[in-house]
Amino acid sequence: MQKLIYLDNAATTKTASEVVNEMLPYFTENYGNPSSIYSIGATAKEAVTKVRERIASSLGAKNNEIYFTGGGSESDNWALIATAQTYEAKGKHIITSKIEHHAVLHTCSYLEKQGYEITYVDVDENGIVKLDELEKAIRPDTVLISVMFANNEIGTIQPIKEIGAIAKAHGVLFHTDAVQAYAHVPIDVDEMNIDMLSASGHKFHGPKGIGFLYIRTGIKIRSFIHGGQQERGRRAGTENVTGIVGMGKAVELSFLRMEESAAKQRELRDYLIKRIKEEVPHCRLNGDGVRRLPNNVNYSFQFIEGESLLIMLDMKGICASSGSACTSGSLDPSHVLLAIGLPHEIAHGSLRLTVSEENTIEEMDAVIDAIKEIVDKLRKMSPLYEDFIKKQKK
């Protein structure tokens, strides 16, 4: 069997074996319900408490500000919908950016149908939110600003501290979708004036279906799941103990090796960026050169379809992702690539490679060879490319 080269760590990551090992006893022995009073229940409860403390301290937050959820999408839905509903008396206006994840954007469209008003702030050509536009968009009836910490497609890291300061100065709440950033880059909720923050376990080598929402003390947003008294009555449902324990281990591992792991990823990222730029003609790097996640490479190749490139990479055992979303049933190019100003035809020819510290330079070499060969092959079949070459010869 061909060896798999996994370069789609922004979509999900491999669950670390230490994480799996940490989870196993909570299936087999300590399976008690944390709400029960007998000892296996208490053991589970203790484990959940420890993870809550670990996550709180990783953010400079308090234990009772961390609420476990079913992942990033649920956290985003909760933050937006509950804030909108709770603060309706103040106003029905929310500000976000054009490059958010669909967990935020589709929640915003849902809110628009419910009578709320959303302003979608522009980004510059590197995908950085325009701060002056953001500040100008604030109105007396604005209740929330929601801007993602780092973008999942192009890896751009936003000026979160500055956005937090603007929100604070105007008395508006600030939520950030930090699903791509948490456990990858340092975050301090006080220093950055973050009021709410979403994160997800499976984006940092933890299990899927578990995440959390940080909610600053004093913010009285409504509960999202109604039922029992779990999560101080704000998110009902028996705790996903195995998921929480697994996510806790993943947090521990990520924070222990954050710098080392980021340095390794940066090395692989920069190697890919440099060699592709030098060896594949008519390509363009998307996203910011500096303010960028350590794991993210996003290139557009002229005259080709990203989907064809992905399929041919898959035949070589390489897992990557494209900017267009054909696979998810839509032919539209990525809203993020359009927002940074790419024309449709260029946005269609995009490829996202997201590395982890487990990848190697040898794998990068194999991927670069594959990209060169496939891009060349696809261009030879492209009438657009043929025209372009003819025009160049004249």
Ligand X SMILES: *Cc1c(COP(=O)(O)O)cnc(C)c1O
Identify which of 132, 155, 149 has the alpha carbon closest to the alpha carbon of residue 289: 155
DSSP code string of 347-386: HTTEEEEE--TT--HHHHHHHHHHHHHHHHHHHHT-HHHH
Q: Does 71 bind ligand X (CB under 6 A)?
A: yes
Q: 269, 298 in Cβ contact below 8 A? A: no
> Which residue number, 101 or 348, has a Cβ lying nearer to ligand X?
101
What is the footprint of ligand X within residues 192-251 (CB under 6 A)? 200, 203, 211
Q: 261, 97 in Cβ contact below 8 A? A: no
User: Which alpha helices (H) appear in the chain, and where do they start and end?
Assistant: 17-23, 25-28, 39-59, 72-77, 83-86, 102-113, 131-136, 160-169, 241-256, 258-279, 306-315, 335-339, 344-347, 361-380, 383-393
SS3 136: helix
Q: Which listed residue (32, 72, 164, 287) binds ligand X by CB under 6 A?
A: 72
- What contacts 373, CB < 8 A, 6 or more positions away? none
DSSP state letter for 227? S
What is the footprint of ligand X within residues 273-302 (CB under 6 A)? none
Beta bridge partners of 284: 300
Q: Which listed residue (15, 30, 77, 152) binds ligand X by CB under 6 A?
A: 152
Q: Residues 294, 156, 355, CA angle at the centre, nearest 5°? A: 30
Tokens representing residue 217 in the block: 């003390």
Q: Does 65 bind ligand X (CB under 6 A)?
A: no
Which region, judged by CB under 6 A, interacts with ligand X, from 23-31, 139-147, 173-181, 326-334? 173-181
Q: Which listed residue (148, 163, 189, 283) binds ligand X by CB under 6 A?
A: 148
Which region, judged by CB under 6 A, interacts with ligand X, from 66-74, 82-90, 214-222, 322-330? 66-74
Residue nearest to ligand X (CB): 72
Number of chain positions touching ligand X (CB under 6 A):
14
Q: Does 261 bind ligand X (CB under 6 A)?
A: no
The answer to whether 354 is a known ligand-binding residue is: no
Smallest separation, CB 345 to ligand X (Å):
26
Q: Residues with catalytic annotation? A: 326
Q: What is the distance between the alpha carbons of residues 229 and 233, in angstroms, rounded to a whole number?
A: 4
Beta bridge partners of 145: 95, 174
Binding letters toward ligand X, positions 75-94, x by CB under 6 A? -x------------------
Smallest separation, CB 2 to ligand X (Å):
27
The answer to whether 158 is a known ligand-binding residue is: no
> Which residue number, 71 or 164, has a Cβ lying nearer to ligand X?
71
Q: Does 177 bind ligand X (CB under 6 A)?
A: yes
Q: Which listed residue (59, 95, 103, 276) binds ligand X by CB under 6 A?
A: 103
Q: Which residues are annotated as a binding site for [2Fe-2S] cluster?
A: 326
Q: What are the residues binding ligand X (CB under 6 A)?
A: 71-73, 76, 101, 103, 148, 152, 177, 179-180, 200, 203, 211
